Structure 1
Amino acid sequence: MKNNIAEVNQLLAAAKAMVNDDTVQPYSGPFKVGVDLGTADIQTVVLDPHNRPLACYLDWADVVRDGVVVNYHGACRIVREQLRRASERLGINIEQACTSFPPGTDPRISINVVESAGIKVSNVIDEPSSVAALLHLQDAAVVDIGGGTTGTAIIEQGKVVKSVDDPTGGHHITLTLAGHHSLEYEEAELLKREDDSGAAFTVVRPVIAKMADLVKAHIAEYSPPTIYLTGGCCALFGFTTAFAAEFTDIEVIAPSHPLFLTPLAIAAFADVNAVPQARMG
């Protein structure tokens, strides 16, 4: 499974390298599309049939909270624009995509936003389960630390047997930083994303421990040997070390670029679009 993580890390590095790159790269062949409506960001990823990234778009946006779209028109506008940019970058006609939802929330919320862009939703899956599918996990747990929620999926013998969500995530880390340093929320958010000194980590370590306690309660009766982390919050300096310290008998593994793992997994779960119609004139 670690070898699989190494392969996925290469895909994540490729996705990161092309984020919001509109350079025209004409593509011909089947492809897959995933749209991830997160609390802190919205991402659209296009993959080839082997899950290699072809396009990746990200907008930081406060339009979703705890799995509920609080700015429907804003979310629709961002998704339409990302799909347009991906189509023009690759010279393809996107007709369908996969989307996701936090466990325990209504999937129709995400479906409605994607369909507003005029495309079909071919698949919908909860966020941690999409990661479990991408990594081909047999016996493990996936913990998705999102902006507003923490999703936990338990996998046994290759099947998801439990998937739950808790209302805590990166948003709460930002609030803690804002309170401690007397910062505006936006300033604290930037500190969280950009800190590489460990200063932010020192302040928010108790919040990370609380997240770990919630996960402990969910996995107690299953005892998975490994936990795989995903979500942009995991990129915080020191996060993985602090989270892993709460699980002395369980291995904790984080990808190299956790911000892009769930969007990549959603796209990988998508049905393949038909051979695109080239529009290169």
Structure 2
Amino acid sequence: MKPDITAVNQLLNEASAIVNDDTVVPYEGNDYKVGIDLGTADIQTIILDGNNHPVACYLDWSDVVRDGVVVDYFGACQIVKQQLQRANQRLGINIEQAVTSFPPGTDSRISVNVVEAAGIEVTDVVDEPCSVAALLQLDHAAVVDIGGGTTGTAIIEKGRVVKSVDDPTGGHHITLTLAGHNGLNYEEAELIKRQDKSGDVLQVVRPVIQKMADLVKAHIAEHAPPVIYVTGGCCALHGFAQVFSNEFPDIQVVIPSQPIYLTPLAIAAFSTTETAQLVNRGGYV
């Protein structure tokens, strides 16, 4: 029986329902939380209320970040600024602080610098899979965050993150494979990947997904987690879940209802209080 993440799925569905919605909905109080996720394929800002329910959610597809490195600093800052402005206008608030993240093994200051350049204070920074581990309050499990350019794996034992690593593979590599196979440019292949509902893309990129799984297998081999939670927009590819799960016949693989929103939701919910206790504050090992 797979672990129940019904409550988290409900939060993800709420985020999906309001993404890029600028309808004015004044927010009462100052207990909101802000998370900013600078991804390779997209940048997201999500605002939660005091009970971690999404009240604003913004997503812009972009290529200003590659494998955890900002290649278009001005572009990244502008997107973050615009998303924060839209959130302020929607909720009638003035956001001054946020939490942000970084892929394991990369310099966390890169994300911090972009967010601070957008004019707000970074109160905390956490690596992406560790933020998900904290949100789910895991005791013994692995979290795999498949981003646009990297795949991060965090291993949790006895409620502590004991290992967090990153591999240079993700949705970007699926798009490149699809483009090469079909003789398309990158933008055309990316659009086909996002819109595919037939499973045709899967037949081409299956080996890439299996390679991702092989990398994860190597990281978790000595830890034997009973369950793997997988997140990231790449997981929404038609058929991805089945192919990835098939590579772990003896381990439960859980993919949430709206995987593209799980990491930014977890980043926003992250704090230095109870949820963050799962993370080794002395550093990631």
Q: TM-score, normalised by structure 2?
A: 0.94
Q: 1:52 is aligned with what amino acid?
A: H
RMSD after superposition: 1.1
Is 1:12 matched with 2:12? Answer: yes
Is 1:117 matched with 2:137? Answer: no
SS in 2 for 1:165: strand
Q: How does 1:26-175 map to 2 (within 5 A)?
A: 26-29=26-29, 30-175=31-176
Q: Give the CA deviation at 1:271.
A: 6.8
In the other structure, the counterpart of 2:242 is 241
Verify the 8 A CA contact 1:103 1:127 in the aligned structure 2: yes
SS in 1 for 2:212: helix
SS in 2 for 1:164: strand
Q: 2:221 is aligned with what amino acid?
A: A
Distance 1:230 1:106 in 2: 21
Verify the 8 A CA contact 1:122 1:271 in the aligned structure 2: no
In the other structure, the counterpart of 1:21 is 21
In the other structure, the counterpart of 2:283 is none
Q: 1:6 is aligned with what amino acid?
A: T
User: Could you list the per-position Cα deviations for residues 206-225 of structure 1 after superposition, in whole angstroms to 9, with x for gaps in the alignment?
Assistant: 00000000000000000100
Q: Give the CA deviation at 1:184.
A: 1.1
User: Could you list the per-position Cα deviations for residues 11-61 of structure 1 after superposition, in whole angstroms to 9, with x for gaps in the alignment?
Assistant: 001101101100000001210000000000000000011110000000000
Quote the sequence identity (%).
Answer: 73
SS in 2 for 1:2: coil
Q: 2:27 is aligned with what amino acid?
A: Y
Q: 2:20 is aligned with what amino acid?
A: N
Q: 1:90 is aligned with what amino acid?
A: L
Distance 1:142 1:197 in 2: 28
Distance 2:90 2:245 in 1: 40
Distance 1:259 1:53 in 2: 14
Distance 2:114 2:226 in 1: 37
Q: Give the CA deviation at 1:270.
A: 4.2
Distance 1:44 1:181 in 2: 34
Q: TM-score, normalised by structure 1?
A: 0.95
Indicate how the Cα distance of structure 1 residues 154 and 271 shifts in structure 2: closer, same or farther if over 3 A, else same: closer
User: Could you list the per-position Cα deviations for residues 120-142 of structure 1 after superposition, in whole angstroms to 9, with x for gaps in the alignment?
Assistant: 00010000000001111110000
Q: Give the CA deviation at 1:2.
A: 2.7
Verify the 8 A CA contact 1:97 1:270 in the aligned structure 2: no
Indicate how the Cα distance of structure 1 residues 218 and 19 shifts in structure 2: closer, same or farther if over 3 A, else same: same
In the other structure, the counterpart of 1:200 is 201
Q: Give the CA deviation at 1:248.
A: 1.2
Q: 1:91 is aligned with what amino acid?
A: G
Q: 1:75 is aligned with what amino acid?
A: A
Distance 1:247 1:97 in 2: 36
User: Could you list the per-position Cα deviations for residues 148-176 of structure 1 after superposition, in whole angstroms to 9, with x for gaps in the alignment?
Assistant: 00000000011100000000000000001
Distance 1:185 1:173 in 2: 10
Q: 2:107 is aligned with what amino acid?
A: D
Q: Give the CA deviation at 1:190.
A: 0.8
In the other structure, the counterpart of 2:278 is none
Distance 2:119 2:147 in 1: 27
Distance 2:3 2:45 in 1: 26
Verify the 8 A CA contact 1:33 1:270 in the aligned structure 2: no
Is 1:266 matched with 2:238? Answer: no
If asked which structure has higher relative contact order (CA below 8 Å, sep 6+), I would say 1
SS in 1 for 2:205: helix
In the other structure, the counterpart of 1:187 is 188
Q: 1:104 is aligned with what amino acid?
A: G
Q: 1:22 is aligned with what amino acid?
A: D
